[in-house]
């Protein structure tokens, strides 16, 4: 069966790469010149190709990981093939690097899913392969495979780091985390998540030990969500954090991540901030509704994996059982929407991005709309946590802290920021059935086909420019 799974995965990888190459060829023929953020990335990579490593475009906000990898791949090919001239680091050649990253992401997703879902190996083989294929074609990520953006490479190294942490290779994970940060500085959060899973495992082990010691106090294996349960957890965490042996056991395993975090702090101090350019357009704020947007985004894209009558009944049962909790959650959500909604100037001005239309046609339809959406946010939050209930409390806490750190400080509503947290959410929920995965793959295929078709064919011009404009994520 394992051999069959290997053959099936290889066949799907080959088919996926062939289809992606055909789409890549079509897109590159239609849009030969750099587009959107490519007007910064492509010239910068070409400078690196020419050996001009001291020249830097101040409008670029990320570190040069993408350009370094591109030069590291293209230059040897140039020497081997005897290529010269501008074709070496042309826009098309640079974009092709992301096509290679897409193949790597497919393989990494498969390995992560295989590691996380070891039980029922025989019957789960098809579902593991299909899950990896679905997530590698996740629409927001897949679209940027065909442009010279940082998303594919950033995702690759972040997933690679997480895979190594799952296998206990924390020094390798820390090194790969550095590579991920070179693509996008916010990947420090997912390096912290790797460390957080280590701490969560230690906490789980310690909790089980306490449970066995304090049977007379009826310490539960599953921590109840109640005032008493919260009190137990807080006391336990305080005791764990103040016990030298516990801290030592964590540091002995997690020290590579501490080294990476320390280096990142030094970088921030020397750089004067997280971004390396265009500071005025990337100011941090407490945009708490970003969490609501992410939960809603996750709800929609994971619809085939969770949608069922039983799930709806489970929510209604939870609503009847804990009405005060949901009332409090609704009131807090309304307050956060009221006081902490920020709108970036790019969201209101750039009509080439889908979020522009989501904001204009939904959120700006009426001033009450953002508040009327709160019940939907509450359900999306509940569904998110319900899907992850098989994970421990401490794992969920680590994930939620990192998710909050990755989304809330962002002023701009940008679906690309949701790629990594969505993928990490999706690989950790129970494997959906094969029919559900086929529906999910069909949904992603339809969305990808629609977005690529619109990008290629539905062009337009701005009144003050002759350049061709295209719609995109």
On whether residue 23 sits in a domain, the answer given is no
Residue by residue, DSSP assigns 356-392 as: HHHIIIIITS-TTHHHHTHHHHHHHHHHHHHHTTTS-
The total number of structural domains that make up the chain? 1
Q: What is the pTM of this model?
A: 0.93
On whether residue 309 sits in a domain, the answer given is yes
Residue 429, CA distances (Å) to 133, 143, 357, 391, 396 in order: 16, 24, 31, 9, 12
On whether residue 92 sits in a domain, the answer given is no
pLDDT tier, 244 (very low <50, low <70, confident <90, very high otherwise): confident
On whether residue 289 sits in a domain, the answer given is yes
On whether residue 396 sits in a domain, the answer given is yes
Mean pLDDT value across the chain:
90
pLDDT tier, 4 (very low <50, low <70, confident <90, very high otherwise): low
- 135-149, 277-291, 367-381, 459-473: least confidently modelled range: 277-291
> pLDDT: is 156 or 10 the higher one?
156
On whether residue 442 sits in a domain, the answer given is no
On whether residue 351 sits in a domain, the answer given is yes
Q: What is the pLDDT of residue 219?
A: 46
Of 168, 73, 108, 35, which Cα lies nearest the Cα of 469? 35
* Long-range contact set of residues 452-458: C-beta below 8 Å, sequence gap at least 24: 452/23, 452/27, 452/143, 452/146, 455/27, 455/31, 455/143, 456/26, 456/27, 456/30, 456/31
How many CB atoms neighbour CB 381 within 10 A? 19
Section 412-435 average pLDDT: 95
> Would the pLDDT of 221 be above 50?
no
- 100-104, 274-278, 299-303: least confidently modelled range: 274-278
Q: Which domain holds residue 353?
A: 283-432
On whether residue 69 sits in a domain, the answer given is no
């Amino acid at each position: 069966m394992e051999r069959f799974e290997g053959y099936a995965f290889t066949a799907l990888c080959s088919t996926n790469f062939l289809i992606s190459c055909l789409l890549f060829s079509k897109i590159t023929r239609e849009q030969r010149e750099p587009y959107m953020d490519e007007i910064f990335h492509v010239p910068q990579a070409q400078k690196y190709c020419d050996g001009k490593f001291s020249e830097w475009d101040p409008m670029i906000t990320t570190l040069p990981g993408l350009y370094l990898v591109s030069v590291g791949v293209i230059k040897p090919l140039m020497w081997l093939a005897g290529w010269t001239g501008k074709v070496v680091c042309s826009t098309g050649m640079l974009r092709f690097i992301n096509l290679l990253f897409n193949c790597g992401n497919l393989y990494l997703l498969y390995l992560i899913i295989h590691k996380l879902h070891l039980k029922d190996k025989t019957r789960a083989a098809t579902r593991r392969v299909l899950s990896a294929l679905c997530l590698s074609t996740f629409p927001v990520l897949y679209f940027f495979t065909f442009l010279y953006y940082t998303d594919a490479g950033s995702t690759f190294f972040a997933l690679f780091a997480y895979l190594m942490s799952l296998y206990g290779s924390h020094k390798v994970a820390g090194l790969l985390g550095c590579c991920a940060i070179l693509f996008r500085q916010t990947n420090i959060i997912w390096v912290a998540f790797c460390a957080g899973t280590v701490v969560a495992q230690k906490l789980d082990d310690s909790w089980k030990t306490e449970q066995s010691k304090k049977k007379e106090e009826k310490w539960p294996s599953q921590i109840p969500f109640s005032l008493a349960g919260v009190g137990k957890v807080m006391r336990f965490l305080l005791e764990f954090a103040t016990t030298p042996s516990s801290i030592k056991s964590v540091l002995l395993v997690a020290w590579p991540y501490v080294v990476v975090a320390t280096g990142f702090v030094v970088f921030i101090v020397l750089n004067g901030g997280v971004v390396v350019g265009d500071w005025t357009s990337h100011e941090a704020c407490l945009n708490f509704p970003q969490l609501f947007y992410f939960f809603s985004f996750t709800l929609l894209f994971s619809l085939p994996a969770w949608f069922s009558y039983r799930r709806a009944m489970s929510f209604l049962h939870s609503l009847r059982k804990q009405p005060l909790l949901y009332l409090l959650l609704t009131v807090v959500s309304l307050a956060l929407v009221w006081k902490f909604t920020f709108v970036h100037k790019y969201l209101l001005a750039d009509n080439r991005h889908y979020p522009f239309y989501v904001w204009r046609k939904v959120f700006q339809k009426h001033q009450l709309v953002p508040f009327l959406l709160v019940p939907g946010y509450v359900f999306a939050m509940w569904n998110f946590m319900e899907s992850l209930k098989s994970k421990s409390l401490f794992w969920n806490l680590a994930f939620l802290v990192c998710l909050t750190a990755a989304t809330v400080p962002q002023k701009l509503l940008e679906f690309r920021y949701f790629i990594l947290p969505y993928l990490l959410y999706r690989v950790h929920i129970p494997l959906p059935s094969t029919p559900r995965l086929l529906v999910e793959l069909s949904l992603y295929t339809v969305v990808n086909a629609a977005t690529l078709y619109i990008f290629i064919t539905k062009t337009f011009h701005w009144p003050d420019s002759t350049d061709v404009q295209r719609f995109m994520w």
